[in-house]
Each structure stands twice: as C-alpha cells, then as structure tokens.
Structure 1
Amino acid sequence: MGLFDSLGALGQGGGLFGGLLNSVLSGGLGQNLPAMLNSALAGTPYGNLDGLLEQLKSAGLGEQVTSWLSNGENLPISA
C-alpha cells in the first residue's frame, strides 16, 4: 500500500480523525497536496518533491521510496 493509499484508508476508517482526514483528502487540499509540497520545498536545496525523492534515492533509499509511491507495502527507514 502506497503512502497516499494509507492516508486514504485512514480516512475511510471513521472516527474523528478518519472523518477529518477524509474531508481534507477528498477536498481541494488532497488535489493540491503535490503543488503545496513543491512550494514548500522550493526554497530548499531539493527544489521540489522530485528533487527530494532523487536525493533519497541517491542516498541508497530507492527501494523504500519506490515502496512509498506504489500500491505495495511501505518499507521502513531507520536513522
């Protein structure tokens, strides 16, 4: 299950948090999330979300990054 799939599943779980998350993801924020992340990263050395993902891949975390963006299980990272 990918990162955004996990968030979507939480939103369908009900309860206060699930309902709030579902509202956020199904509304304009969910559609604008990639643009918001790119904007937040614009002033960093990464430049945008793609730059951040490439940095993670070049640090040897390519398999983990791929797992987060796919429909399979999310692989963890450790410090």
Structure 2
Amino acid sequence: MKAAITALLFVLSSAAWAHGDVQCPKHPKEEWRSHEELQRKLEKDGWTIRRMELTPTCYEVYAKDPQGNRIEAFFDPKTFERVED
C-alpha cells in the first residue's frame, strides 16, 4: 500500500511540473496587459475560463476551449500570444 501511495504522489508531482519549461518572453511588468483583458479576449473567442494564474513570465490559463476540451495554456502577458513548451 505504501508503494502505491508513493507512486501516486510521484505521478501527481510530475504532472504539476509538466509545464515547468514554459517561458514567455520577458517584458517589464509595466508593459503587461491585465489578466482581465486576456480573460475577456478568450471568452469572446469561445473559451470558458476556470482559473488563471501568474507565473514569473506568463499568464497560465485553465479553461475549456471552444470545442469543450479542458486545457492548460500559457500566454505572453504583453501580446496575449499563446506560448507552447
């Protein structure tokens, strides 16, 4: 039982770091657009936002895309371009 719990914790912690390599271009904070503006843009494009987080260089978005797929996506906070890892 202990081995199963340890394996589960390892898998969950690995998933949490799955996108640890995503780096948006670095912009001064004063050039960042607001996350509210990004949310409005994505909702206009048909996304359903579950939550948004701030990384050191990106906006991280947990949402459903227009096709209803649950996704985690990263966006450049200045240009709102989607950043892939």
> Normalising by the residue count of structure 2, what TM-score does the alignment of the two structures yield?
0.30
Which protein has the bigger strand share? 2
Q: Which has the higher helix share?
A: 1
Greater RCO, CA 8 A, separation 6+:
1
State the structure with more CA Rg.
2
